[in-house]
Amino acid sequence: MANRGKQGAQSKYDHLIKLLLIGDSGVGKSCLLLRYSEDSFTPSFITTIGIDFKIKSLPLEDKKLKLQIWDTAGQERFRTITTAYYRGAMGILLVYDVTDERSFANVKNWMRQIEQHASESVNKILIGNKCDVDPADRRVSLEQGRKLAEEYRIKFFETSAKENVNVDEAFYTVARDIALRIDNEVDLTASGKNVKIGPGVGPAGGKECC
């Protein structure tokens, strides 16, 4: 597709993908989103109250995805309010801060929230943010993060919103997996216009025939 995520063509997309960012307060969820959606990083970032919302277009192979990304407040108080958004989410990015061990320890609580409130098929991804820090300030190693993600059988990235490390990759990965899952579901139910024969989905961004 020639036009890649241009605003003007916003209404034209193949998939609408709803993503949700969760994790403890201050781990950098809003910064990740800002980096991803506007490719910028601002020091004057602010506390998210309730939820925030951004959209981003993403070309994927020959398709165009429209991402709706929901950014949530991390504080416990907002938990009941934000869990309302879980169910509609197709993908959840669970973020912790590599300099904050507690945020890492809380991952299991967040996973529980997901189990309780999100749909079963939701795609999850674990993100350890602020990986650009001085090693002396780091409290959670890459290995710990990776191990935990393996336990949950979900994908894992260490990112830096500040230095723009792995941010696009993380979002892209989850968005692509969702798109593939949806295509697959369409195939299975044969309700879509693109009825395919065979699995149609390769591992990691496999090609699709349309």
Partner 1 sequence: MHTSRQVNQSADLQYSTVLWEAAFDANKNDDDTEEADLSDEEMREAHGPSLEHSIMVARGGKLCIRVRDDSWILPGTVFVSHFDSVSSQGGKGPIEESGLVGVGDFLVRVNGCDVVGKGARHALALIKDEASADSVSLTFRRLQTSSISREGNRIRSEAGIHLTEQHRVLMFRYLLDSKPIDKRRLASLAGDGIPDVDKHLRPLAWRILLLYLPDEVSLWDAHLKQERAIYYQLVQELTIMTGPAASCPPSASGHVINESEDQNFRGSWRAGDASPRLDTPLCALSSAPSQEGDARNTAGSMKATDPNLTFCQGHPGSAPPLPRSGRGSGELDVSLGSSQDRLPTRPRFDADRSLFNEIRKDVVRTHPDQNFYQDQTFGTARYDALLRILFIYAKTNSGTRYIQGMNELAGTLFYVMSRDSDQEWAEHAEADTMFLFAQLMSQLRDVFIEKMDESDTGIESKFEQLEVLLERHDPTLSKHFRMIGLEAHFYSLRWITTLFCREFTLPDTIAVWDALFADKDFSDFILYFCLSMLMEQRQEMLRCSFAKCLQSLQAYSPEAEMKRLLHRMRSLRAQDSASGFRVDRRVGEAATPSTSRVRNYFSRVSSRMRDDVPIALGSFSTESKSHLKRAGAQLKASFGSMRKLIGDSMSVLPSPGATGGAPSTT
Give me the residues that bind partner 1 (CB under 8 A), please. 11, 18, 25-26, 28, 31, 41-55, 68, 70, 73, 75, 77-78, 80-81, 83-89, 97, 99-102, 105, 116-117, 130, 132-133, 136-137, 139, 161-162
The Cα 13–Cα 39 span in angstroms is 21
Reference 128, options 106, 160, 152; nearest CA is 160
**Of 167 and 201, CB closest to partner 1:** 167
User: Which residue's CB is nearer to partner 1, number 106 or number 173?
Assistant: 106
Determine how many CB atoms are found less than 10 A away from the CB of residue 63. 16
DSSP states of 10-68? TT--SEEEEEEEEESTTSSHHHHHHHHHHS---S------SEEEEEEEEEETTEEEEEE
| CA distances (Å), origin 62, targets 2, 58, 67, 140 | 9, 11, 16, 38
Task: Give least dist CB 101 to partner 1, A.
Answer: 5
Minimum distance from residue 92 beta carbon to partner 1 (Å): 12
- Rounded to a whole number of angstroms, the minimum distance from the CB of residue 199 to partner 1 is 30
Pick 3 or 40: Cβ nearer partner 1: 40
Nearest approach in angstroms of CB 28 to partner 1 is: 6
Reading the block at residue 10, the tokens are 């916003």
Between 104 and 201, name the residue whose CB sits nearer to partner 1.
Answer: 104
| Contact indicator for 96, 26 with CB cutoff of 8 Å | no
Minimum CB distance to partner 1, residue 99 (Å): 5
Instruction: Report the C-alpha gap between 129 and 31 in whole angstroms.
Output: 10
63 vs 139, beta carbon nearer partner 1: 139
CA pair distance 118, 97, nearest whole angstrom? 23
Separation of alpha carbons 47 and 29, rounded Å: 10
* Closer residue to partner 1 (CB): 2 or 49: 49
CB of 95 to partner 1, least distance (A): 12
**77 Cβ neighbours under 8 A, 6+ residues apart:** none
